[in-house]
A and B are shown apart, each in its own frame.
Chain A
Amino acid sequence: MTARRLLFRNLNAKIAALPMIATVLVVFIGCTVWTVVYSFTSSRSLPMLNFVGFDQYTRLFGASRWDVSIKNLAIYGILSLIFSLVVGFILAVFMDQKIRFENAFRTIFLYPFALSHIVTGLVWQWILNPFGIEKVVRDLGFESFSFALLSNRSMAIYAIVIAGLWQGTGLVMALMLAGLRNIDEEIWKAARVDGIPTWKTYVFVIIPMMRPVFITTLVLIATGIVKLYDLVVAMTNGGPGISTEVPAKYVYDFMFGWANLGQGLAASTVMLATVLIILIPWAMLEFGGRKAK
């Protein structure tokens, strides 16, 4: 095929994609480069090109708040990834048993997703603060009952995980349910004829067939994890102390609250680098491998 023909193939589609290509180049790549460049400066409120080498990074990695933020993101990330996938899939399997009132249940499970993270955070803050569950149980007669997740430093991050799962699992369930409905009925019939137990069919046949759905879900959950910010702000604002701080909040606080643009940009560059370190090998496996097949 000549180069000329390659260029003119699907010309309309290429022209239609131009605005998006421009956006990607300017907004995504351009702004990313800008961010990285200015993370090496001592910019305060306003961006200024006075380079200070790796000073911002030295300070970043020396800051105990950044340390705590990274650990919290890891806890939140791992737990919410595992639980939302597992719980979402199991809920979808239950929904797929041709149950009565399926629509009603689906609505109930999906409803939290319609709430913003801020609303979710406030609702769970009210539930978990001492006037919530704790007071209800105490009023029932259990005077010494204590359930104050949010004012406990080591538990507060799990409270955020719970709220995040409550909000996000419904969507995972809906996606999984759509995936399950796409599985051909014939496969089930074949499995039944062969006498394979139901759970085995799910694990060894259905889940591998649902691979594209899982990947979509994974990407959605992963982006949700990295940008975790509003839920924390609404529920704990990083407290008690700094025990529920997350990287995105570190970036925001330094850029806008505390007038240290350089420090905020250094933190966001590290966030980007971490995502790339995970993403690139995965993308190479996923998309590079297919060509070889």
Chain B
Amino acid sequence: MRYGLIAALSASVAFTTISFARAADLEVTHWWTSGGEAAAVKTLAEQFNKAGGDKWVDGAIGGSGSGARPIIVSRILGGNPMGATQLNHGRQAEELVQAGLMTDLTELAEKEGWKDFIRPASLLESCTFEGKLYCVPLNIHSWDWMWTNPDVFKQAGVEAPKNWQEFVAAAPKLKEKGIIPLATGDGWQVSGMFNVLTASLGGKDLYLKVNKDKDSAALNGPEFKKVIQALADARSMADPGYVGRSWNEATNMVMTGKAGGQIMGDWAQGEFTTAGKVAGKDYDCLPGLGDHPVVESGGDAIYFPKNKDPEVTKAQLKLASMLVSKQTQVAFNLAKGSIPIRGDIDMATASSCMKKGIELLKNPDNIIPSGDQLRAPDTQGQIESLMGEFFSGPEMTVDDMQKRFAEIMESAH
């Protein structure tokens, strides 16, 4: 009894001073809410909980990244940080890191030798600030894909397209049959599509000149004009119902044969997999729209905002280590349809489309930085507004668009 009391007392002292071995609840915010994404995030939660002790508290924020990011950022800025959060690596968290609001992961990364197995190296670079590491790359997501439904083209009496030009040529035939050629939503989906068109029709050089060097000659040049013309083609191939449509609804239109194709990142792959569709049979994928097969090295990363509670910090490091582990990488990426961040794992069960992506990633010439890595959110936002204006307004000319796009890029910081 007496010893019990002493034990209890010392325990309470310990709690208040060093708070010993106590499990933490780790709230993880993310915007993985579509079918394939939810299945992927479930594998993370299960694995983290199985490891014992700490608990994964799911903080899914519905909608898309553009809706979720403001909530995440303002919570961190407002001093109410979550345990961990998804962001796209790149410049989105730039200032949060500069302000010292993120947990430093350098020590853990060095101990586990992340540099040796994470590829391409640019993934870790985007997480690094002044030589220190602040986020964990979780997967590689590439925008540069087009998903098509071969059956639909067969019905319309044309061959399934192998590149963008064939797709544009087949569009009138699809329309005759009452099929929407191009399924899309609005907002970031349109500006993302434009990036894909830049990289795959204009090539890697043009993409970098426009987005990275902000080269005035390239921005106003004829090559770039062709890209904008392609977006004008896309505009005429979409249906009026694209307003307010989410990307997975658009993917579903391709799946069910209501639409011919969709330009969307490889996260669409997860939707096809979840629906039990087979690549090459039920759907086709064209990396880089068939012309210049490139993959973006962007993707999702997990950031760990600084917390006052040392238990949370401990749990954060535990989660960070788990995220790059082989087991997590396989389970998560198979469900989500993204490319794992390490090349030394067995992805034999991946679909043929994912294998194409993994193959492309082996050659560094095929890798381009993502829009999020190149452009500040402020620029991204202005471009998104401009794309929205162009895509919804057939009276806006290609020249007009090119001029205004160049203005935004030239004034970007």
Seen from chain A, the residues whose Cβ lies within 8 Å of a Cβ on chain B are: 44-46, 59, 63-65, 125, 129-130, 148, 150-153, 236-243, 245, 252-254, 256-260, 263
Contact = CB atoms under 8 A, between A and B. Distances in A.
Interface string B369-402: 0000000111011100100111111000000000
A205 to B, nearest CB: 49
Contact of B380 (A150, A236, A258): A258
A45 B241 contact: no
Contacts, number: 90
Nearest to B74: A256
Contact of B377 (A65, A148, A259): A259
A239 B242 CA distance: 10
A63 B381 CA distance: 12
Interface of B: 66, 69-70, 73-74, 77, 92, 94-96, 99, 186-187, 240-244, 376-378, 380-382, 385, 388-393, 404, 411
Given A45-B95, A254-B378, A258-B380, A237 B244 contact: yes
B244 A150 contact: yes
Contacts of B376: 44, 259
27 contacts: A44-B95, A44-B376, A45-B73, A45-B77, A45-B95, A45-B99, A63-B382, A129-B241, A150-B244, A153-B393, A237-B187, A239-B187, A240-B243, A241-B389, A241-B390, A254-B378, A256-B70, A256-B74, A257-B66, A257-B70, A257-B377, A258-B381, A258-B382, A259-B376, A259-B378, A260-B377, A260-B381
Contacts of B73: 45, 256, 259
Contact of A64 (B95, B186, B389): B389
Nearest to A258: B381
Nearest to A62: B407
Contact of A241 (B74, B95, B392): B392
B388 A258 contact: no
Nearest to A48: B95
A242 B388 contact: yes
Contacts of A153: 392-393
A243 B389 CA distance: 8
Nearest to A240: B392
Nearest to B384: A258
A77 to B, nearest CB: 22
Contacts of A59: 411
A242 B385 contact: yes
Given A46-B77, A241-B186, A257-B381, A151 B243 contact: yes
A285 B390 CA distance: 45
Contact of B378 (A152, A237, A263): A263
A94 B70 CA distance: 47
Given A44-B376, A150-B244, A241-B393, 20 more contacts: A44-B378, A46-B95, A64-B404, A129-B241, A151-B240, A151-B243, A153-B393, A239-B243, A240-B186, A240-B388, A241-B388, A242-B385, A245-B385, A254-B378, A256-B70, A256-B73, A257-B66, A257-B69, A258-B377, A259-B73
A150 B391 CA distance: 15
A239 B73 CA distance: 24
B239 to A, nearest CB: 9
A238 B381 CA distance: 13
A45 B96 CA distance: 8
B248 to A, nearest CB: 16
Contacts of B243: 150-151, 236, 239-240
A153 B235 CA distance: 14
The interface centre, meaning the residue of B243, B376, B392, B411 with most chain A CB atoms within 10 A of its CB, is B243
Contacts of A257: 66, 69-70, 377, 381
